[in-house]
Amino acid sequence: MSLLDVKNVTMRFGGLTAVKDVTFSVGTNDLVAVIGPNGAGKTTLFNTITGIYTPTEGSVTFDGQLVNAKKASAITDLGIARTFQNIRLFNNLTVIDNIKIARHTRINYSFFDGIFKTKKYREEEKKIEADSIELLKLFHLDDKKDYLAKNLPYGAQRKLEMARALATKPKLLLLDEPAAGMNPTETKELSNLIRFIREQFNISVILIEHDMNLVMQIAEKIHVLDYGNLIASGMPAEIQNNKKVIEAYLGADLEGV
């Protein structure tokens, strides 16, 4: 059984069809890319998977459960986490507090425990603190745990957003243009980091990305959207040589890849 099944998903906004009849699946521990020109419907597709939008037609099933009508918070509880094209951190909170807030989606104490600061509450909060520091160490951000998030360099903010998503203990991580704004050195580090995340946390990853070097290096399967339509799916080598994909999007981007 697939971890994620997107079946005949269509998303309309009035007279505009942003995603049209898209079907694909993602298995356990897969590393998949979704590519296409600006306005192709990639982020809209992510939004339908994560509960920001409810598909106009079709279904999204995750780990055997239909998630179409579920709230974004409930979908996070099921095990889907994401980052955003435009970084969305709690800028005026510290680095570690950004992680701890996400980690609280998995708390094991009750409202009563929180109000009265019971032993269970204190022990759980101590564990959350330790787990958050360990996660920051994996991203080499532990030495910046007390910085305000807004004071981190751009690349470190990207890492923090990924770390925060992982703090929810997902089975599937969606990365929306993680290399946007990065220089070649940072992009190379990101490539290694995405592989590390998949292996270290034993999760599946779907990324939206325009950097074709990055995509071709790490993606095991690629889905291509154009004007909301899924025009091709396949291994990187197949996508590189697909005439329809080259005409719609890739073109000269494949030179040197």
pLDDT score at 116: 73
pLDDT at 255 over 50: no
Tens of pLDDT, residues 231-249: 999 999 999 999 999 888 7
What letter represents residue 138's amino acid?
Answer: L
Tens of pLDDT, residues 108-133: 777 777 777 888 778 888 888 999 99
DSSP class of 249? I
CA 214 vs CA 91, 125, 138, 164, 192: distances in Å? 28, 38, 21, 22, 10
pLDDT at 93 over 80: yes
| Total residues found in the chain within this entry | 257
Mean of the pLDDT values across residues 137-143?
94
Delineate the domains of the chain, giving CATH numbers in brackets: 1-79+170-257 (3.40.50.300), 89-167 (no CATH)
Distance CA 160, CA 60 (A): 28
Mean of the pLDDT values across residues 189-196?
92
